[in-house]
Structure 1
């Protein structure tokens, strides 16, 4: 009985004494997106000028399903009078969204831009698979994005 009275006394002191108890809230990851649209074959503006060609999709049948290999050719260069503070990996900057999944490029041959290598050309290969519950048309209805850096706070530069 004394334990209960002591507990009630402590709770009432906390409530009426001005002490507030807060519950921890989980904060979602904040993703900032610019609504800028680009066109294939035109250069983007900014520190890095990137020209993406129209994606080409190759269908590869397998025993377990079908894989679509999307190939996107690009040309990139640092703008005049701009300097890269760190090397920039272009293979991580190009992303494709199909259905509910965001696909990244294979990192077989990453292309790095820096002050020593101011321009680069290459082809990014992104494997696309059909998820359960989706059709081939859902996978081929894709959106290509060019992002600033691969991190938790991704900022989309251009949507194609």
Structure 2
């Protein structure tokens, strides 16, 4: 009897094995789950002075997320950014003022040089005129002397 009772169990087991083999034989398309896929490492964006470091993140709605400090440290970084921006604006304004003063100075220098060149040219013309007049007087005086001597 035991053999008969075992046989139905073995029949049931063989039926189950056949069903399992059939199930294994059926190819079910495998769906890749997101947790099985390794995430891509985010691309690090190096910060400028006083800015928070950022990462390009495909999962983020904006595509970029800050990776920098939070809380009080974030407030300090924000203050640093503001101070840096204020300093940059002051330096830019100072540079623009310096550039305008230099342009005005160059303009004044050029106009003064043109005036002094005009004065120098005028003085040279007067000097030449007086030099030629003196030279002509000298030549005339010598000619008069020669004329007197020719008559004697």
TM-score by length of 2: 0.24
Q: Choose between structure 1 and 2: higher strand proportion.
A: 1
TM-score by length of 1: 0.23
Q: Choose between structure 1 and 2: higher helix proportion.
A: 2
Identify which of structures 1 and 2 has the higher relative contact order when contacts are C-alpha pairs closer than 8 Å and 6+ apart.
1
